[in-house]
Structure 1
Amino acid sequence: MAGRVRPITLVGTPVLHRACRPVEEFDAALAELAEDMFASMYAAEGVGLAGNQVGVDLRIFVYDCPDDGGERRKGVVVNPVLELPPLDERRLDDDEEGCLSVPGPHARVARPDRATVRGLDVAGKPVTVEGTGLLARCLQHETDHLEGRVYIDRLSARARKKVLREYEELRAGTEADILPE
């Protein structure tokens, strides 16, 4: 992929905290956006990236991560609709989660261990992605972004404050490293 790396939008930026608009045009600009999103995700060493994480208010995400069996899965989903198992069939995976828009800290987030996303590809053709393990978590995490939610929004108030405090300390430390004494 030849995409260009775009800066990752950080927590607190308004575009991250509101629902994104549906994609209506499936054109060269959308394909270019997807390529840029892959390049940005790889540069940041992530496994998924939503449109608003590069400042674009559109319902699109990219992913490249393994499922529960270790099979690497990669793709683009436009205008995704998330489907989770029925409550009586749902098993929660309580694992660590992080986010490129909240770089540094991680926290435990319980999510269903299986998820399906239905949407379109960049050409407007229907796609269905069924995920287990990390891929299921990724599909849910990226769909959350498109709804204006960051993973820390799923944490208790105490856990959220802890993550944000750690994030701010890391940012302050990074800024201190580049400031002259």
Structure 2
Amino acid sequence: MILPIVAYGAPVLREVSQDITPEYPDLQKLIDNMWETMYASNGVGLAAPQVNKPIRLFVVDSEQIINNLEEDETNAYPGDHGIKQVFINAKIVDTEGDEWAYQEGCLSIPKIREDVSRPEKVKIRYMDENFKQHERTFHGITARVIFHEYDHIEGKLFIDYLKPLKKRLLKGKLDDISKGKIKVDYKMTFPR
């Protein structure tokens, strides 16, 4: 089932999410719905707060990006083959490498894309959908998507990384999003 995506301005997007246990009600159904919602919205990642659930859960499919690189971009992310993965109760263990800028967007902040600088690599501890624990290091565009989705479960948004002047310039657009004065081709709910 395709779930509505929560728009900028909703309090759930600013909450630090809670860990969950395997007994979380209808967890597999929620994960399936998040995948369906993400793909229906043309996203490459989706965090539970974006579907109004303040829990530490997100899904990432960076294979879509890697598999759709233009011919002249194929060497842009060496060794990054992309992933399609569920992250539960994730915690960043370490980051490393030089920061690099990339134009990010967010399904909860439609029609705004801005350069955000993030480290090259992220080491993260998480559980998969079977609650098996993992600790892995990701790099390239996969690390980028993980950082972005991880921020959601920490109550952060990519616009928080922008310089104050840039944020002021975007204020009108952000206000329009929070008031529902925007048209998107996927289901959204707006703050009241």
Which bin holds the TM-score, normalised by the shorter protein? 0.7 to 0.9
The residue aligned with 1:179 is none
Q: CA RMSD, aligned part only?
A: 2.1
In structure 1, runs of 5+ residues without a counterpart are 176-181
Q: TM-score, normalised by structure 2?
A: 0.79
Give yes or no for contact 1:77–1:121 (8 Å, CA) kept in 2. Answer: yes
Q: TM-score, normalised by structure 1?
A: 0.84
CA distance in 1, matches of 2:25, 2:129: 9
Alignment of structure 1 residues 21-100 onto 2, 5 Å: 21-26=18-23, 29-66=26-63, 68-69=77-78, 71-86=81-96, 90-100=97-107
For residues 133-174 of structure 1, the C-alpha deviation after alignment (integer angstroms, 9 at most, x for no partner) is 211111111111001001111112221233343355676363
Aligned pairs, number: 169
Looking at secondary structure, tell me which structure has more helix per residue: 1
The residue aligned with 1:128 is 135
Q: Which amino acid in the other structure matches residue 50 of structure 1?
A: A
Q: Secondary structure at the match of 1:82?
A: strand
- Percent identity between the aligned chains? 30
1:166 equivalent among 153, 164, 173: 173
Superposition misfits of 4+ residues, deviation over 4 angstroms: 167-171
Give yes or no for contact 2:8–2:174 (8 Å, CA) kept in 1. Answer: no
CA distance in 1, matches of 2:29, 2:91: 22
